[in-house]
Structure 1
Amino acid sequence: MSEETGHNTDPVNKKEVARFIDPYSDFGFKHIFGKTPNKNLLISFINQVLKGRKVIVDIQYNNIEFKGSGVDYRKTVLDLHCTGDKGEKFMVEMQKAKAINFKDRSIFYTANLIQEQGIGVAANWDYKMPEIFFIGIMNFNFDDSHPDHFIHDIRLMDNNTHQEFYSKLSYTFIEMPKFKKLETELESKLDEWLCILNNLKKLSEIPLSLVGNTEYEKVFELAEMGNLTREEMCEYNQGLKIERDYFSAMENVREEERKEMALKLKAVNAAFNLISETTGLTIEQIESL
């Protein structure tokens, strides 16, 4: 064990090995939230996100979807049929995904979910829809969002009267990198859940303030590397490799785009310092093009 962090250390590479899996990985997200035996954890988390608009007492996993291995490979969808404490039925689509066109993707998924309601129904269907809540757990920030707000409650609203126009469709986006509260600053159960998600892979043990909460302790138990089967560990490592390869490929694409922009600016005799500020390339890199 490392004396400073308590993490295990790889004896060959001398690098710290995380004790807990990354909940933002496809495997980690599915392993913690995507299995029926763990549905009490998902119910607890979603109820905190919904902030009393609904109180879930039961869920059914309608679909767990993982798509592709190419440019759009990072996509995890939990399509949930929920029962509220008043017996009402509604749907929650919970998504963890990469930043590429995420707003468009969110609309696309809910549109598909809406369309599916009309498939196979009687000809005299009256178009009455269930409520649909979309929750986006984002391990990235929107480019155009307010720096002080990390939870976005999006609903259809009349722009003139500011009254809610349609209450059955809403979107909640949580920009996790903006959540920076320390353990001593947590004020609510939602804060505690977000703190766990943001810090799980970096922790060596469950924080003292969370000890005694059976749900949180279950998350840490599920996430502990030593509790994974050989097959689960292989799946997790393979997923991490795909993510690293994807990140490397995207970095190469961005580098080529920066070089192309620099060449265009050089062609019109732009100052090198301006090119550097615009593209992020160093003066030396620009001179070598």
Structure 2
Amino acid sequence: MEALYSENSIFIPLISDYGFKATFGNEANTLFLRRALQALIKSEVPIKEVKFDKNTFEGITQDGRSGIFDLACTDENNNHFIVEMQYGDAPYFVQRMKFYALHKFNAMVKRGKFDYGTLTKIFCVAILANNILPYSNYHTLANLRNERAELFDDQMTFITVELDKFILQEADCQTDLQKLIFTMKTIHTVTQPIQFPKFWDEEWLKVAIDELDSRRMTPDEKASLEILIARNAESVKAESRKIKQAIVQKNIETVTKALSKGLDIETIADIADVSIDFVRSIQQQLLKIDH
């Protein structure tokens, strides 16, 4: 997913900052957003209209530089939708989803007279280029459930899409969800019109695809887009380096603490999920400090 866009590409990546805002955030025509949300939450009931929430989570994203894009909206029944997209590493994305959903929940609980029975639903959608969950499914829908996996409450629903796990080919895509994810994962790889899937002629997808067509852009607009995508890619790499450095530092702290307790090297390596050589290197560094 690194090489998102090239000069031979016909379409702008939907999973880029520009692509996300031009499709999911298209306020002039919300058909794609409404149909996509319906597919993502696996609802048989069409969403008739959506209203964009201008009070998004300020400070969470800044010009797409973190590789995270957000959108918040409500439907005609005042159900809330939060859509997050990230094409970089996301080790704590589940925690962030909970933060967003609970933030929205708290905002719904008004002071004074209040009836919990009037609470509408919250759908928190995360679309990620990389994998974060230990499941094979590319689409995960989660609610609050008991120990027998029976539904306890469905006022909050968490939906996660992991693009890297989606391996279906064009001919295998039958549902709106499959068509949506196929489009998100492949549209920027198309270099010839003959490669267009037939279902891209469906009105709801065509609305989004037209917004991503680079052939409609002026040379200056295309140049600006290429600069933006390159800048985002560098920012994602920088963010990934920070995450890796943080993981290494945490491993060092874990190994150091375990060594101080006198545990053997093999046990420490197993506990910290690192190699034996890594544990030995930390041990040698500590011995040098002691001497």
What is the TM-score normalised by the length of structure 1?
A: 0.73
Residue of structure 2 in register with 1:286 after alignment: none
Note if contact 2:17-2:67 (Cα within 8 Å) is conserved in structure 1. Answer: yes
Structure 1's 116 and 229: CA in aligned 2 closer, same or farther, altered over 3 A?
A: farther
Residue of structure 2 in register with 1:151 after alignment: 139
Q: Which has the higher strand share?
A: 1
Q: Which amino acid aligns with 1:56?
A: I
Note if contact 1:141-1:175 (Cα within 8 Å) is conserved in structure 2. Answer: yes
Residue of structure 1 in register with 2:167 after alignment: 180
Structure 1's 239 and 125: CA in aligned 2 closer, same or farther, altered over 3 A?
A: same
The DSSP-based 3-state class of the residue aligned with 2:53 is strand
Q: Distance in 2 between matches of 1:111 and 1:257?
A: 27
Trace 1:71-90 onto structure 2 (pairs within 5 A): 73-83=66-76, 88-90=77-79
The DSSP-based 3-state class of the residue aligned with 1:162 is coil
Trace 1:12-161 onto structure 2 (pairs within 5 A): 16-52=7-43, 54-63=45-54, 67-69=60-62, 73-83=66-76, 88-97=77-86, 98=88, 99-118=90-109, 121=110, 123-127=112-116, 128-142=118-132, 144-147=133-136, 149-159=137-147, 161=148
Note if contact 1:258-1:280 (Cα within 8 Å) is conserved in structure 2. Answer: no
Note if contact 2:125-2:158 (Cα within 8 Å) is conserved in structure 1. Answer: yes
Q: Which has the higher helix share?
A: 2
Q: Which runs of 5+ in 1 are unaligned?
A: 1-14, 282-289
The DSSP-based 3-state class of the residue aligned with 1:56 is coil
Deviation of the 1:43 alpha carbon: 0.7
Q: Which amino acid aligns with 2:71?
A: L
Residue of structure 1 in register with 2:283 after alignment: none
Q: Distance in 2 between matches of 1:193 and 1:37?
A: 20
Residue of structure 2 in register with 1:5 after alignment: none
Higher relative contact order (CA 8 A, sep 6+): 2
Q: Which amino acid aligns with 2:198?
A: S
The DSSP-based 3-state class of the residue aligned with 2:105 is helix
Q: Which runs of 5+ in 2 are unaligned?
A: 1-5, 260-264, 279-291
What is the TM-score normalised by the length of structure 2?
A: 0.73
The DSSP-based 3-state class of the residue aligned with 2:15 is coil
Residue of structure 2 in register with 1:241 after alignment: 230
Deviation of the 1:34 alpha carbon: 0.2
Q: Which amino acid aligns with 1:153?
A: L
Note if contact 2:67-2:236 (Cα within 8 Å) is conserved in structure 1. Answer: no
Q: Which amino acid aligns with 1:200?
A: I
Structure 1's 124 and 248: CA in aligned 2 closer, same or farther, altered over 3 A?
A: closer
Q: Distance in 1 between matches of 2:121 and 2:73?
A: 12
Residue of structure 1 in register with 2:201 after alignment: 212
Deviation of the 1:153 alpha carbon: 1.1
RMSD: 3.6
Structure 1's 16 and 227: CA in aligned 2 closer, same or farther, altered over 3 A?
A: closer
Deviation of the 1:106 alpha carbon: 0.3
Q: Distance in 2 between matches of 1:132 and 1:152?
A: 16
Q: Percent identity?
A: 14
- Which segments of structure 1 move beyond 6 Å, counting only runs of 4 or more? 255-262
Q: Which amino acid aligns with 1:162?
A: A
Per-residue deviation, residues 127-153 of structure 1 (Å, max 9, x unmatched)? 3311111111111111x4123x11111
Deviation of the 1:229 alpha carbon: 5.4
Task: After superposing the two structures, state which structure 1 stretch, 219-228 or 46-55, moved more.
Answer: 46-55
Per-residue deviation, residues 105-143 of structure 1 (Å, max 9, x unmatched)? 10001111111113xx4511223311111111111111x
Note if contact 1:261-1:279 (Cα within 8 Å) is conserved in structure 2. Answer: no
Trace 1:222-233 onto structure 2 (pairs within 5 A): 222-228=211-217, 233=222
